Amino acid sequence: MTGRTEPASDMTSPGRWHRRHLLAIEPLSREEILTVLDVAAAMKEVSQRDVKKVPALRGKTVVLLFFEPSTRTRTSFEIAAKRLSADTVSFAVSTSSVSKGETFLDTVLNLQAMAPDAIVVRHRSAGAPYFITNYIDACVINAGDGSHEHPTQALLDAMTVRERLGRLDGLKVAIVGDILHSRVARSNIFLWHKVGSEVWVCGPPTLLPPVFRQWPVRVTYRLEEALEGADVIIVLRLQLERHVSLRFPSIREYFQRYGLTRERLKYAKAGVLIMHPGPMNRGIEIESEVADGPDSVILYQVSNGIAVRMAVLYLLLGGATVP
């Protein structure tokens, strides 16, 4: 505000955000990631007030365009937008004209004609959010595209770790399970690499193809090796609905080899953080006692998801329109 007397150096704060869309973690710099996390920490306080609403995005319209089923992410974005006073419109595919044969592009062009300020999109195809940016003026936020990325999930994971462990660098982060189908894994791999932590990925070879050896990660098929000395364990859901062929003999065998149990947890550091992006399959990728145990921060992730999404919406929509 004009009455403030910031010194000149504050004006060029390296934490400034200049992006119009949030499509992936991959193109972000370490500084941009930290900017989102800093703003998210401030946003978290808004959710703890009696009046959980600030006027920052008054008059902005956020469309939630979900082509895949989602409760948690859509609700989280909706609450985040509302706490910033933006108006939200949900566009669920099952009730939309897509089910009447409209193409993806036509749906997008129709939305553009309604002049929203931001579109939060989830789609089964990788690159769908990027595709949209060519046709609309609104800011686009990727809420999960195929097996590509789910940037706000990785950001909320990082926020949870920073809150709990006080840092993001020098950690061993183990990502366990269905790596092949996981956009959460990809976003997290990029994020933890950028902030200076070591990522281990672990799963059965059918769900962890050799291509990952070209990524900035350590690959192992032995769960004990991934867990050894880990500070953070990210357990992934077995995405059976995406499996086109049988990837392992049985669920029971999968749990025996790759399920996170109290017994296996002993390999990790004391006070290891156990995270899961949800929805969780108890007894398949994670034992109930572990999911509900003292090391689990799964529900903190959900709370932090709102703060991170508020930060992203605010950073994209809060300032003047970036040309």
- CB-nearer residue toward other proteins: 101 or 323: 323
Whether 61 is a known active-site residue: answer no
Minimum Å distance from CB 322 to other proteins?
7
Catalytic one of 20, 72, 218, 243: 72
Helix (H) or strand (E) holding 64: strand 61-66
Instruction: Please list, in sequence order, all residues whose beta carbon lies within 8 angstroms of the beta carbon of residue 14, skipping any fewer than 6 positions away.
Output: 31
- In the shown chain, the binding pattern of residues 288 to 307 toward other proteins, with x for contact by CB under 8 A and - for none, equals --------------------
The dihedral formed by the CA atoms of 86, 306, 27 and 219, expressed in degrees to the nearest 10 = -160
Q: Are 230 and 172 in contact (CB under 8 A)?
A: yes
Rg (Cα) of the chain, in Å, rounded?
A: 20
Question: x/- contact string, 36-55, with other proteins (CB under 8 A)?
Answer: --xx-xxx-xx--xxx-xxx
Is residue 73 flagged as an active site residue? yes
Between 8 and 211, CB nearer to other proteins: 8
4 by DSSP, 3-state: which?
coil
Q: Which of residues 17-36 bind other proteins (CB under 8 A)?
A: 17-18, 35
Segment contacting other proteins by CB under 8 A, of 92-100, 246-254, 257-265, 314-322: 314-322
Using CA atoms, how far apart are residues 266 and 174, in angstroms rounded to an integer?
14
Q: Output the CA–CA distances (angstroms, integers) from residue 82 to 55, 71, 77, 116, in the order listed.
A: 10, 16, 9, 15
Which of the residues 21, 60, 61, 73 is marked catalytic? 73
Taking the complex as a whole, the smallest distance from the CB of residue 135 to other proteins amounts, in Å, to 24
Binding to other proteins, residues 84-103 (CB under 8 A): 84
Spatial separation of the C-alpha atoms in residues 282 and 291, rounded to whole Å: 8
- Judged by beta carbon, residue 84 or residue 286, the one nearer other proteins is 84
Q: Smaller CB distance to other proteins: residue 42 or 299? A: 42
